[in-house]
Structure 1
Amino acid sequence: MATGARLAAAGADAMPAEVQDESAFPPLPVFFAFIMMAFGMFMAILDIQIVSASLGQIQAGLAASADEISWVQTSYLVAEVVMIPLSGFLSRALSIRWLFVFSCAGFTLASLLCALSTSIGEMIAARALQGFVGGAMIPTVYAASFLMFGRKRQTGVTVTVSFIVTLAPTLGPALGGWITSVLSWHWLFLINIIPGILISFGVATLVKLDAPNLPLLKKIDLLGLVALAATCGGAVFVLEEGARYQWFEDRTVLTMACVALCAALLLWWRVTTAEEPIVSFRPLGNLNFLGGSLMGAVFGIGLYGLVYLYPLYLARIAGLSSGQIGNTVFVTGLFMALGAPIAGWVSQRIDVRVMACIGFLLLATSTWMTHYIDIEWRFNELVLPQALRGLGIMCCIVSVSVMSFGTLPNPLIKDATGLFTLFRNVGGAIGIAIINTIVLERFNHHYSRLGEATNPGRAEIVERYDMMTGLAAARGMPDPEGFALRALANEVNRQALVMSYADAFWVLSLLFVAFSVVPLFLKKPGTFADAQEVH
């Protein structure tokens, strides 16, 4: 307890003078600087998903193969997940201010390189650079919010940051599809240039939070850094590529899994023995932060996994364009915007543990409703599930953030924000891997069962076949019988695919229900201004 008190006092001493009086609103330049940092974070998160709706156009423009184009996404995610935990050490060495400035400026430069890419190799390298340097913006904004606004105002700030964190990946596919259809895929990256320059100069000028500790760079654990990169990068690679290549049946996936496992053991050794560890796991000693981070990982599945699954269904089954898909999934973003002020108001009036339970149950209800999906579902059928998902997302992210950080002392915040973001992003990667695995496995099952049912001995199959043959003959097609067989096979394929999507929604609903009880086992955090002891 005494140690916790000393840490809390040290954290208070480290705060800039202008935020020591938490009853007053921060100076206007400080508030404006935070808005700029938040917008920079929005750009970094948006770039994860904004490309997803336009991969086909990028593939055509760069003459890339189907396997190569997937690395436009994978390279970004692998590089980003390495920087996120590293940001804690770098923010202590460089300060939050300069780490954010270097991150935003590097992200802007990498965006320009992406737009100027003329080959798939150049694009992959530029996207990796973009993900690595941009990855520091997300955790530094979380940390800056504590130092700029203090803990008494943290709930309101958390609502704002949480809304940005969740809105960006929701709007990404819609915005990306619109930009590509109106302009070209190059503008997916060029739109970052001017805001990135303005934000970099603005934050460098206005933000004065903590002082850099440059001698800390001389103590950097290079072996630990290599282990961190191999652990995080290897794990994300396995999660991103595993389902496509039948997991460990593929030698590359198996090799990367072994590398990640060995690197994780090396990283743990360096964290426990190095004079200045490259990443600190001390925040995980706080039960609320550990539980909140695990819930954040499951929440990441609901955020990134469903952002992936909905457009997948709308493109493959409904056959909608990227613009139409954007209009459909925009419902979630709309209800997130409506739910943000409600979530902030509710979080200050009820136990946030109850609020977290409600959020996960809303997500479970949304996915449970969607597990009845069929090939006819379009905008109208998806409105209510998406509305519940939007409200559930806001309830979850706000309450989970309050539970995670509400009892942490200030000196642990910089490392904790990186770990919290890492858990959420890795959770998203796990969610997409789970979805892909379920879809692949269950598709084969359903296709086999439907194939058995689609036999020429059934009267309704013969009737459908004759009708398609007659239709093809009436249109003057050269091979009416072949057309009818292909049409039947395509129908079986669509039905099997939509049934596999339904199975994925069902599994996710069970997962959300299971984690809805986790908050009940955590300590009631109260507000951000409560006791600062390390528990």
Structure 2
Amino acid sequence: MAGAAATATPGAVPGVYTPPAPGTREALLLNIGFFAMVIGMFMAILDIQIVASSIQQIQAGVSASAEEVAWIQTSYLIAEVIGIPLSGLLNRALSMRRLFVFSATGFTLASMLCALAWDLNSLVVFRCIQGFLGAAMIPTTMAAAFTLFGPNRSVFQQVAIGMVATLAPSIGPTLGGWITEHLSWHWLFLVNVIPGIIAATVVWRLIPKQPPQLNLIKNIDIIGLAAMALFLGSFEYVFEEGPAAGWFEDEELVVWMFLCSLGGIIFFWRALTRTNPVVDLKVFKDRNFAVGSMVAIVVGFGLFGSVYLTPLFLGSVRGYNSLQIGQIM
């Protein structure tokens, strides 16, 4: 089975890879491998929202305040944002197949660690690891639709990706509420284990092999990556703790503001001057892309703000359980 799917070699050298003819055994195996990748993408997106309706139970389980428990969601998002820009370069350096399997395996192991977390700090750290390691599954799956099937024969695969991108965040709170109500909040993370193992195994067996280009790893802008992590992490910390700490009245928060500014300056400088930056900001010269991105940012502020506040209100003020909160959301 592995040999049948591994005869093609996508992406390494332009023009070498040819998608298998529709209706053949090779095409069937390739589609099975691709939908295993879609499962991984589904898990990575699902885990952003699956904890939303169970915030109260997790808060009690790790003895955290309402303000502190927000880090369970935001730490995952920040780590995912940091990991996604690296996926393009790592895809070429390690190969799509290896990168996805590594990402799915790491995501699965990190999910198990999240379920075993003993306090808030350990859970936040494990969520960071989970978000960072799982980040590559999203763009890698999107790229696979075109790389493996070609732009003219990937309509069905693109539809599947679109459905997953819409469905996963929509059912996340409801599924999370049901799991917490009937099992426990630990299963919000353990639910990833079996699908993660299946996805990693099937992709390793059925997705075509690619020769790695390890020399590309030396092109990773380590300074730019570190600056981006410092900028995003400290930015989140400042706005998370600022209202309670009194902003400039707290000396520690002022230090984080300085680190945020320093990280932002270095990151944008490296992004605008490096040949191979972590994030290519030159794409914002396209007006349509820039306007679309700004709209997405504004919508994201409203969407994710309400996703965090609504469960707290429904649980603390209205007294709803996890399942009821998930159904409302």
TM-score by length of 1: 0.53
Conserved 8 A contact 1:77-1:131: yes
- CA drift at 1:133: 0.8
- Matching residue of 2:162: 162
| Residue ranges of structure 2 left out of the alignment (5+ in a row) | 1-10
Cα pair 2:92 2:213 within 8 Å, conserved: yes
Residues 288/144 of structure 1: CA separation in 2 closer, same or farther (3 Å cut): farther
Report sequence identity in percent.
Answer: 47
Write the mapping of 1:29-178 to structure 2, written as runs, cut at 5 A.
Answer: 29-154=29-154, 156-178=156-178
Any conservation in 2 of the 1:51–1:188 contact (CA below 8 Å)?
yes
> Quick check: 69-78 or 149-158, which moved more?
149-158
The aligned counterpart of 2:261 is: 261
CA distance change for structure 1 residues 32 and 236 in 2, over 3 Å: closer, same or farther?
Answer: farther
Is 1:225 paired with 2:225? Answer: yes
Residue identity opposite 1:231 in structure 2: F
CA distance in 2, matches of 1:125, 1:197: 22
| TM-fit CA distance, 1:146 | 1.8
Q: Encode CA deviations 1:166-211: one digit per residue, 9 max, x unaligned.
A: 2222222211111111111111111111111111121122222754
Q: 2:171 is aligned with what amino acid?
A: L
Q: For residues 139-187 of structure 1, what are the alpha-carbon distances to aligned partners after superposition, in whole Å with 9 as ceiling and x for unaligned? A: 2222222212322345553332122122222222211111111111111
Change (3 A) 1:317 1:65: closer
- Gaps (5+ residues) in structure 1? 1-10, 330-535
Q: Is the 8 A contact 2:21 2:27 kept in 1?
A: no
CA distance in 2, matches of 1:16, 1:309: 51
Q: Deviations over 1:270-293 (max 9, x none)?
A: 234445433333444444433433
Counterpart in 2 of 1:293?
293
Name the CA distance, whole Å, in 1 between partners of 2:215 and 2:138: 25
Task: Kindly report which structure 2 residues correspond to 1:183-332, keeping only aligned pairs within 5 A, or say none.
Answer: 183-208=183-208, 210-242=210-242, 251-274=251-274, 276-301=276-301, 303-308=303-308, 310-312=310-312, 314-315=314-315, 318-329=318-329
> What is the one-letter code of the residue matched to 1:30?
L
- Give the 3-state SS of the residue equivalent to 2:18 in structure 1: helix
Structure 1 residue 303: Cα displacement: 4.6
The match for 1:179 is 179
Structure 1: how far apart are the matches of 2:303 and 2:123? 26
Change (3 A) 1:272 1:63: closer
Number of paired residues? 318
For the residues of structure 1 that align with 2:14 and 2:299, how far apart are their CA atoms? 32
Specify the structure having the higher radius of gyration (Cα). Answer: 1
Q: Deviations over 1:100-136 (max 9, x none)?
A: 1111111111111111222333222211111111122
Query: Deviation digits for residues 1-44 of structure 1, max 9, x if unmatched?
Result: xxxxxxxxxx896366233989x998112211121111111111
1:264-413 to 2 correspondences below 5 Å: 264-274=264-274, 276-301=276-301, 303-308=303-308, 310-312=310-312, 314-315=314-315, 318-329=318-329
Letter in 2 for 1:117: A
Corresponding residue of 2:5: none
Q: Which moved more, 1:290-299 or 1:88-97?
A: 290-299
Partner of 1:28: 28
Q: Which one-letter code corresponds to 2:165 in the other structure? A: V
**C-alpha separation in 2, matches of 1:173 and 1:243:** 27
Give the counterpart letter for 1:110 in structure 2: A
Alignment match, 1:475: none
TM-score by length of 2: 0.83
Distance 1:48 1:133 in 2: 14
Structure 1 residue 252, shift from structure 2 partner: 4.8
Measured in 2, the distance between the counterparts of 1:90 and 1:81 equals 15
How far off its partner does 1:219 sit?
A: 3.2
User: Is the Cα–Cα contact under 8 Å of residues 29 and 206 in structure 1 kept in the other structure?
Assistant: yes
Cα distance change of structure 1 residues 319 and 64 upon mapping to structure 2, 3 Å threshold? closer
Distance 2:317 2:88 in 1: 43
Decide whether aligned partners of structure 1 residues 213 and 237 sit closer, same or farther in structure 2, where only a CA change above 3 A counts.
farther
Alpha-carbon RMSD across the aligned residues, in angstroms, is 3.1
Separation in 1 of the partners of 2:309 and 2:26?
41
Cα distance in 1 for partners of 2:156, 2:173 equals: 28
- Structure 1 position 313, deviation (Å): 5.1
Change (3 A) 1:61 1:272: closer
Distance 1:223 1:175, change over 3 A: same
**Secondary structure at 2:185 match in 1:** coil
User: Which residue type is aligned with residue 59 of structure 1?
Assistant: Q
Structure possessing the higher relative contact order (Cα contacts under 8 Å, 6 or more residues apart): 2
1:251 and 1:166 map into 2 onto residues whose CA distance is 42
